[in-house]
Amino acid sequence: MDLGVKVNNLLVIENVGNLVCPSSFDLGEAHKVVVLSVTEGDDKPLKYPDMFHAADLMLINKTDLLPYVDFDVERCIQYARQVNPGIQIIKLSATKGENFSSWTGWLEEQVKRE
C-alpha cells in the first residue's frame, strides 16, 4: 500500500581495525567510506591502496590534532587520488564538530540519490 510517504533508509556498517579487510568484502553497500585519522599517517592511501581504491569518500578526521602530528594533508590527498582519482575528500574533526556538516550533507545526498 502506497501511503505517499517516502522512506529513506541508511545503514552504516563500521569496521574497526585495519584498512585491508573491509575492501575485500561485498556487503551490498552503495558506498564505501574510509575514515583516516591524522594520527595514522599520511602514507596510508599508498600502504593500503585497496581500501582507498574501493572508497567513494575519504574522511580525514582529527584535523584538530594537525598542529601536533606529522601529517601532510595535501600529500595524503595526492596519494589518495593517485590510487583513486575520483575519490571525494572531506576534512573534519568529529571531536570539535569542525566541518561535520559536510559529512552529514554527503550522507543525506547519497540517501536522496538511492
pLDDT bin (cut points 50, 70, 90) of residue 5 is low
Reported pTM: 0.85
Whether 8 is in a domain gets the answer no
Q: pLDDT tens for residues 57-78?
A: 999 999 999 999 999 999 999 9
Q: pLDDT tens for residues 8-45?
A: 677 777 776 655 555 566 777 778 899 999 999 999 99
CATH of residue 42: 3.40.50.300
The domain in which residue 61 lies consists of 29-113
CB–CB of 114/31 below 8 Å?
A: no
Whether 15 is in a domain gets the answer no
Q: Are strands 88-91 and 33-37 parallel, antiparallel or unpaired?
A: unpaired
Whether 12 is in a domain gets the answer no
Q: Is the pLDDT of residue 81 over 60?
A: yes
Average pLDDT of the residues of the chain: 86
Sheet containing strand 88-91, strands side by side: 33-37, 57-61, 88-91
Whether 101 is in a domain gets the answer yes
Residues near 75 by Cβ (< 8 Å), separated by ≥ 6? 42
Whether 23 is in a domain gets the answer no
Whether 109 is in a domain gets the answer yes
